[in-house]
Amino acid sequence: MPLLDIEGLRVDFGDRGRPLAAVEEFDLRLDVGAVRGLVGESGSGKSVAMLALMGLLGPDARIAADRLHFGDADLLALSRGARRGLLGREMAMVFQDPIASLDPCFRIGAQIEETIARHERLGRSARRERALELLRSVGIPAPASRLAAWPHQLSGGMCQRVMIAIALACRPRLLIADEPTTALDVTVQAQIMGLLLDLQRRTGMALLLVSHDLPLIAETAQRTSVMYAGRIVEERPTASLVARPRHPYTRALLDALPERHRRGERLAAIHGSVPTPGARPAGCAFHPRCPWARPRCADEAPALLADGDGSVRCHFPLDPGAASG
């Protein structure tokens, strides 16, 4: 049984009469202990999908799904209280801006212990011991003194380590990391990614890595989903996704990477930007930006169909052998 099983997830904002779908037809299956990547430009709906899974969206978001299972729990059938009970204990999340994600009015130690106190019956000294051990495991130097530190006294990288410590406080089975390194310095990014993978291997939790940065995910995730304009457009093992992309958007993402280019060659930027939920074109949402678009792409929306070792949402998937155009 997969740890996470999502089928047909849909998130709407706006008026009921004119709903704006931030996420549609979102499918994701994640095995116990797997590392999965979710890639897309900002505005593609990946964060909204993750927040919907956690149940952290505001009351103006309407969530529907054919299937939203976590382990043997049907998340849609659970009461709000029961779902909240899963957060921080079974499934945890790390956010993009670590400094803003820590409450400036509470000490680091208190913020870690708070999660433990919420989910486990532990005495004060046992909680403190656990918090100390967590800070040590996320590689914070002098952890004993850091327990009494305030968030504003720590750097961004340190704050993200604290956030990870909080997320792991109750040994969750799933950790969602939403752009965990985007707000950090380049040198710190690699350390945090290394830490996340190391902790994943040590604890055996599943890791859902959300990023706009395809190479970052390519190095770490076993399988990767690519999102565009609220939908998943391609999904397959990361290695084959990078080597033989079938969706033009995946291909465009890869072509835009500087390291895939030889000297003197021009960098291929994707012209235009992700359409907002209200302004999505008819047919395939990517067709206005797609160099391979044909008339059918503007008329008929493609479905996500099985394709080799994964699936792709395209009327005319690219031939893996063809040279770049």
Partner 1 sequence: MPAFILSRLLQLVPVVLGMTLLAFALARLIPGDPVETMMGERGIDPAHHAAMRHALGLDRPLAVQYLDYLGGVASGDLGRSLVTKAPVLGEFLTVFPATVELSVIAVAFAIAVGLPVGVIAAVRRGSAFDWLAMTASLTGYSMPVFWWGLLLILLFSVHLGWTPVAGRIDVLYDVPPVTGFLLVDTLIARDGAAFASALHHLVLPAIVLGTIPLATIARMTRSAMLEVLQADHIRAARAKGLTSFRVVFVHALRNAMIPVVTVIGLATGTLLAGAILTETIFSWPGVGKWLVEAVRRRDYPVLQGGILLVAGAVVCVNLLVDVLYGLLDPRIRHAAR
Please report how close the Cβ of residue 34 comes to partner 1 at its closest, in angstroms: 21
The first and second tokens of residue 158, run together, are 């340190």
Please report how close the Cβ of residue 17 comes to partner 1 at its closest, in angstroms: 18
Does residue number 158 form part of the binding site for partner 1 (CB under 8 A)? no
Does residue number 220 form part of the binding site for partner 1 (CB under 8 A)? no
Question: Are 227 and 50 in contact, with CB atoms under 8 Å apart?
Answer: no
Burial class (CB in 10 A: 0-12, 13-18, 19+), 76: middle
| Binding-site member from 118, 136, 212, 244 for partner 1 (CB under 8 A) | 118
| Binding-site member from 28, 87, 241, 270 for partner 1 (CB under 8 A) | 87
Nearer CB in complex with partner 1: 176/195: 176
Does residue number 114 form part of the binding site for partner 1 (CB under 8 A)? yes
| Binding-site member from 42, 84, 198, 300 for partner 1 (CB under 8 A) | 84
Q: How many CA atoms lie within 13 A of 48 on its CB side?
A: 29
Give the distance from CA 178 to its chain's centroid. Answer: 5
Q: Which helix (H) or strand (E) holds 115?
A: helix 108-119
Straight-line distance from the first to the last Cα atom of the chain, in angstroms, rounded to the nearest whole number: 42
Please report how close the Cβ of residue 277 comes to partner 1 at its closest, in angstroms: 20
Please report how close the Cβ of residue 221 comes to partner 1 at its closest, in angstroms: 22
> What Å distances lie between residue 295 and 5, 290, 322, CA to CA?
35, 12, 22
Please report how close the Cβ of residue 316 comes to partner 1 at its closest, in angstroms: 40
Please report how close the Cβ of residue 188 comes to partner 1 at its closest, in angstroms: 18
| Binding-site member from 153, 222, 273, 276 for partner 1 (CB under 8 A) | 153
Nearer CB in complex with partner 1: 160/220: 160
Outline where the chain has alpha helix (H). Answer: 46-54, 80-86, 98-101, 108-119, 124-137, 143-146, 156-167, 186-203, 214-218, 238-243, 248-255, 295-299
The piece of 93-101, 202-210, 220-228, 313-321 that touches partner 1 (CB under 8 A) is: 93-101
Does residue number 284 form part of the binding site for partner 1 (CB under 8 A)? no
Does residue number 101 form part of the binding site for partner 1 (CB under 8 A)? yes
Residue with tokens 């997969």: 2
- Strand, coil or helix: what is 279? helix
23 bridge partner residues: 11
Does residue number 63 form part of the binding site for partner 1 (CB under 8 A)? no
The first and second tokens of residue 204, run together, are 């055996």
Nearer CB in complex with partner 1: 97/255: 97
Q: How many CA atoms lie within 13 A of 256 on its CB side?
A: 14
Contacts of residue 209, Cβ cutoff 8 Å, sequence gap at least 6: 35, 36, 37, 38, 177, 180, 196, 216, 217, 220, 221
Does residue number 171 form part of the binding site for partner 1 (CB under 8 A)? no
Does residue number 16 form part of the binding site for partner 1 (CB under 8 A)? no
Does residue number 42 form part of the binding site for partner 1 (CB under 8 A)? no
Does residue number 166 form part of the binding site for partner 1 (CB under 8 A)? yes
The CA angle 206-192-261, to the nearest 5 degrees, is 95
Does residue number 222 form part of the binding site for partner 1 (CB under 8 A)? no
| Binding-site member from 3, 34, 53, 102 for partner 1 (CB under 8 A) | 102
Outline where 155-247 has alpha helix (H). Answer: 156-167, 186-203, 214-218, 238-243
Does residue number 120 form part of the binding site for partner 1 (CB under 8 A)? no
Please report how close the Cβ of residue 107 comes to partner 1 at its closest, in angstroms: 8
Residues that bind partner 1 (CB under 8 A): 51, 54, 56, 84-89, 92-93, 95, 97, 100-106, 114-115, 118-119, 150, 152-153, 163, 166-167
